[in-house]
Structure 1
């Protein structure tokens, strides 16, 4: 029986602190804290309008009112942008606090798209809280809309709960998030090298066959390989059937595509698994029904790829020509939909990928991991971990916060391995993010960010709900 990282965890009630507000002072449980949910919103993400959220430390006991002051640089109100509610003569507007709610919002409307300039900066600041009880302004009392690199924030990638049906790509400098069904593709054609990746997020595997005639291959000839060409067999030989988990594009299960057609063999393709369908799994449920098998062969045509593919018992095959697109790391193809699909953002416009992942355990071959985070080494996003020690949990927490606040970047530690965060941020036995570490990432634009993973479970104790905070290191 194939085993994956679907270790059942006990159901924990995870009480998460409000990401944008500090905890209430001891002995002042009735203190009401208000803050902006995010420090920054990228102007480039706002074609029409965006909600600007403000969050409370607890549900409001009373109605109240927040006063927000607006200031702008290189942007004119009612020409470049406007807000709902509108500002008054003092460049201020009010946003209601409603009893029983834990947040409120206002609308930022962009009035010029495509953008006419990229030096616009709009800042919003909480300048007054009209509330009947004791209140504090802590955390993000200001937020900014700008084209500059994001100052940071908190992101909860929606990977789909226990089945983790989505891969989520995140660009830190803009706060942009892109979700893609992880079953939407099988093959990724490199723009950098003559290489083709398989989709490790659905536990695919590929075996080179001793033929280059795809139409002569039949299931009866290859079915003996079915048990070995798979992920999670605990046989070291299956490392040969998956891509190098480090992200090294020169070490793919499918060999380099050669100019000479005769050197390009047929491959047996294990199509992996659909996401699970259990209603209330105790842990992750990422491997459901098997997706079957295909046979493929890939040739070169000038600087393009020619993909041949068919079902195992087909006596003829289909062909499609796939061009290299230098704006992207890879061009992606779906053997099911029989079409190219959009998966990754452009080459240097993403940093992190929250995904199911095929890794390797030394001596045990390839193995499936849930709740995995890779970074975009192909797009020059490099990272390293900062790990601290403490004598007690309280001591550890203090030292972690000090290290996080005072971190000094060490470029020599930045790694070319895409698994720096990987599975090294969470403990599947407790269902919690590790409390002794954070990560430093340098993106393709030269920005440095510190990243702290917060949680992996939702309030019901289910996996597939990651959350992290990040800050620009200035």
Structure 2
């Protein structure tokens, strides 16, 4: 009887030890970043007016396409309480003097101010294209409700503002972790209410006036840049004006993605001494200063008119993701000039230079 008890005790102790040791020694799965590949982005129908925005994650070779028109407002998940409008549709907004959403209508607000135009005065209708969340048309949401004014939004980019596309909104704080949105069409006398809670896994929580809460961006650690048509700026002579661009590329600056442009040819096609895409390797990184600005790539990678046009062949980009992986990336074609691509389906290639 004692022998059986001793054997049982030994078996139980051995089992516990093996289970415990197994737990302690189980290695954490290693996430190996992609060595690089070629991608054709799925911009969808529309050519230069492609219907999709495409988010790209280099370390997993993944792209995520979402309809540009699928959202109207983005609610910041960071420490500040800020709201962005949809630059991907060229949405425009202006503040009113009222804090009563039901009191605002076309008799006391001139919706024509929300029409698009290539004059400097129109810049005030759009969030700053550098992606700084403190430079939005909608002011930071105030803890004192009466200080939060009503804004009127034209959800489309158009030379003439029409009532069908005009909404009015008012945003309040919902406790310390969310937002309360009041929204209605411009001449409606009752409004709808939605609560948007912050989620630290994402840069923004997105909302559609038509469908409610929607998913737009992947989780903030799961993408490095987005390709889309969007509101931007350009120069008319020496004057900065608003202009809606196709084929813009913005890096995920809010999640610590950084980048730099490397031009390796002079305008006459001769080498300027910088390494080419094929030549660039880890030892070349020390000579670069990567930028946290989201528009380093912007529209700089291509031209739609002039000579040359299409995807430029004299440059590439170096991108460092939030995990410290460093990639070199070049655009191969975009469907302009004679680059052989299809508009709305840009082609690119990238290669891992340094693992994070």
Query: Which TM-score bucket, shorter chain as reference?
Result: 0.7 to 0.9
Deviation at 1:240, TM superposition (A): 1.5
Listed as ranges, the gaps of 5+ residues in structure 1 are 1-115, 120-146, 275-288
Deviation at 1:229, TM superposition (A): 2.3
- What does residue range 116-195 of structure 1 map to in structure 2 within 5 Å? 118-119=29-30, 147-161=31-45, 162=47, 163-192=49-78, 193-195=80-82
Deviation at 1:410, TM superposition (A): 4.4
2 CA distance for matches of 1:411 and 1:441? 14
Contact 1:271 1:291 in 2 (8 A): no
Contact 2:43 2:344 in 1 (8 A): yes
Higher helix share: 2
Partner of 1:102: none
What is the aligned counterpart of 1:332 among 196, 203, 206?
Answer: 206
Residues 152 and 461 (structure 1), Cα distance of their counterparts in 2 relative to 1, 3 Å cut = closer
Instruction: Give the secondary-structure state (helix, strand or coil) at the position aligned to 2:221.
Output: coil
2 CA distance for matches of 1:391 and 1:234? 30
2 CA distance for matches of 1:391 and 1:269? 43
Deviation at 1:401, TM superposition (A): 4.2
1 CA distance for matches of 2:163 and 2:281? 47
Instruction: Give the secondary-structure state (helix, strand or coil) at the position aligned to 2:280.
Output: helix
Contact 1:348 1:380 in 2 (8 A): no
Contact 2:260 2:288 in 1 (8 A): no
Instruction: Give the secondary-structure state (helix, strand or coil) at the position aligned to 1:424.
Output: coil
2 CA distance for matches of 1:249 and 1:468? 29
Per-residue Cα deviation, 1:164-190 (whole angstroms, up to 9, x for no partner): 100111110111111111111000000
Listed as ranges, the gaps of 5+ residues in structure 2 are 1-26
- What does residue range 454-465 of structure 1 map to in structure 2 within 5 Å? 454-457=332-335, 462-465=342-345
* Residue 312 of structure 1 pairs with residue 182 of structure 2: no
* Residue 357 of structure 1 pairs with residue 241 of structure 2: no
* Residue 368 of structure 1 pairs with residue 241 of structure 2: no
Query: 4+ runs of 1 displaced by more than 4 Å?
Result: 394-399, 458-462
Instruction: Give the secondary-structure state (helix, strand or coil) at the position aligned to 1:219.
Output: coil
Partner of 2:90: 203
Partner of 1:229: 114
Per-residue Cα deviation, 1:283-339 (whole angstroms, up to 9, x for no partner): xxxxxx9961100000012121000000111111111111001110000000022x1
2 CA distance for matches of 1:466 and 1:182? 17
* Normalised TM-score (structure 1): 0.62
Partner of 2:131: 247
* Normalised TM-score (structure 2): 0.82
Contact 2:319 2:327 in 1 (8 A): yes
Partner of 1:471: 351
Aligned-pair Cα RMSD in Å = 2.5
Instruction: Give the length in aligned residue pairs.
Output: 314
Contact 2:247 2:299 in 1 (8 A): yes
